[in-house]
Structure 1
């Protein structure tokens, strides 16, 4: 018996090692996939990326594209990684910034849907729906503040440009001189590129983009499943330990958990049942949600280290995503005047939804699909 008991933990540890090796391989595959999108977009556009995305030349249209794409795909990590690849292939950064903002809004639909699981119990549903939608209102408020600043002054674009220039300087100290990640992924990216190039530039480029997008879906989905098995138990422990110990602790733990599970949707969805049960108050969960916004940016930053084409612009948009979320937390949560707006809005909506269940469904359809579609239609007229 003692020998059998000694063998079981070793088998469990061996299984965990295999899972971590698989996670590492999938991350490598993700980085390769982003590189393929950049190469494919560059091949297909033949230097005319701006014309291909003329439908999103209006910042509001770009915002809507980001919202709808992420709401449908249910992964801001996937959408932001695709955007990084497109920027590397020639999509102008100024067109990509509103898309990144939209991806932030779209990703919060997941935990809002999760909260519908509490719909049978009125008070429980009120707490759960409020906890889910506080993420929505924070992201919407962040867009209302930063999109006009971006349109007027290019604030985020300038900050992202400065940060990326630190890594892509003009001398031998540039990251170009020692980018081992790009070197490691080049054989895979170039092999697939050579195969698709036989179909011609445009058709081959489109095929390369589709292969890259498909691999991103596969990699992020599988990484999410593996990391949930490996980390979600620990993630819950961190959450129980950190929530309620102060805003900085909540933000930091939300960031760490999201980096571990590679999904802000997973992180924020974990807390919805806790809020519904009454284990935590909305004001305690709120900072944890903000940390999830920051943690989700790691995927795009990692992917941007190995793209082909305009690598500096790709890193710039990845940094923009990170800085956008950090500045949102600092400004909105840091200013008492703004801090409680998402909480008050979420509590009010939670009360309305608890009294009228159709209001909850109308909110989800209206915010994530109907309103963006109307905005896209209106913006196309200008």
Structure 2
């Protein structure tokens, strides 16, 4: 029994409808959360919350603040039993500036650890014959997240997600279309490409993936040296000016996207203008009828009154 039980729709159509509806509801809820929090987090309240969340312990215990945030994130996620709920509630707070990105990072790491408790509790509730296998899988999930935390947090210069988030945020603030491009590229096209290459076989995946990874690693090394030690690089590699503009800047791509969008908007506007011209032509043809012309010159007819003495035109407008 479901809401589409009386509709003769195939399963994929029902799935698409529910997917679109759920995404709209999710986006609407996030927008409303942002609006409500923006109106609430003002004045002295915002100042107090910012100080509470973003303040570190006095020296030499400032490093403890991040690990305490990890524990808070893990505890809150354990309470709500969902990392998605915790991160979805935290994202608008970061967007309006209440929580800094540096503080949101350990909170998210703690949330990733706290969400593993759900699998561990479910494994502990398994029957005796499957308890060992279920607990092994749950602990794999737990230690995988622990290894990610140890890899990307304890040493300050390894906190690459913070720098990447700030960089992508600055780019998206300047080029709004880049956020959509980033989502499509890294969440759809890249996984599909890796899946397709893996299905073709490990030799194909290694033959294409390894050169791409080497090029990316080389670019990152040169970029770091350009920022820290440009003197060790050849003069030509101390900047990216030797590359074409479209390979080192998003300005040409922004112009292309903007021109395509403006052309689409112009087409829509021209279509609307054609519809208005067509309506005007129909109106002029209609006024060739003398009776309609006299009616137009005499003005609109008197508003009809309903039996209750109310203006029917007003009633229809209200409806």
**Structure with greater Cα Rg:** 2
Query: RCO (CA 8 Å, sep 6+): is it higher in 1 or 2?
Result: 1
Structure with more of its chain in helix, by fraction:
1
* TM-score bin, normalised by smaller chain: 0.3 to 0.5
